[in-house]
Amino acid sequence: QIIDEMLLKNVGPDNLTIRLTLIVGDQTGTVTAEILDEESGNHTAAGNVDFNMFENIKGTCLEGAIQIQSAFFSEDYRGIGLGLASYELIAKHFLLLSDTRQTHEGSAFWKFKLAAHDKLKVNIIINPETKNPIKMTDEHQSPITYHYTKEELESVIWGLEYENDNPHPGIKASRTTRQNNIALLAVKIE
């Protein structure tokens, strides 16, 4: 079922018109991105972001969360903000939980796009895939918000993508392979 749409105008160097559509089923959802040709009425698929409803979360800090499974945009439409706009559309309706795979691209996206976004706050979640996930808190028990300027948190959040890997430039990752017990949670700021 379609639960929301967003129309983006004058996107990228070609001033494209793009329709993002948020579609949700029982346990899965997707945002589709289509390039609209306003003269002909034709549309071309540009990519999609697929997600799953996060399970085992009632009564926890992850209630109402979804977890991204994949994000793909055709090469011609990368780098023009479709990923960020898709995540923004999802965040209007759900809490947005990162996966635990920790790729170079994913860590850069979360740090430089989502954690720098003025309408989202990003919390650090410990043990996201258990029945008792918790938000990382400070000494006053207030949730810690990850912002792209808080480099001291990066070795707690980020690990290496694979053994003998180098961290993504600009991210001070731990030297361990992945941080499987850590995820990030983007929440829309009201």
What are 143-190's pLDDT values in tens digits?
999 999 998 998 888 877 777 787 777 888 787 766 778 889 999 997
Supply the pLDDT for residue 107: 85
Domain ranges of the chain: 1-97, 101-190
Category of 38 on φ-ψ map: left (φ > 0), alpha (ψ -120 to 50) or beta: alpha
Nearest CA to 102 out of 120, 128, 84 is that of 128
What pLDDT, on a 0 to 100 scale, did the predictor assign at position 25? 94
Average pLDDT over residues 74-103: 90
Residue 47 has pLDDT above 80, yes or no: yes
Quote the CA–CA distance of 79 and 94 in Å, as a whole number.
Answer: 24
Can you give the pTM of this predicted structure? Answer: 0.87
pLDDT digits (tens, 9 = 90+) for 22-37: 999 989 999 999 999 9
pLDDT above 80 for 65: yes
Supply the mean pLDDT for the chain: 89
Helices assigned H by DSSP within the chain:
82-91, 104-109, 154-157
Beta strands in 95-156 (DSSP E): 95-97, 120-126, 134-135, 145-146
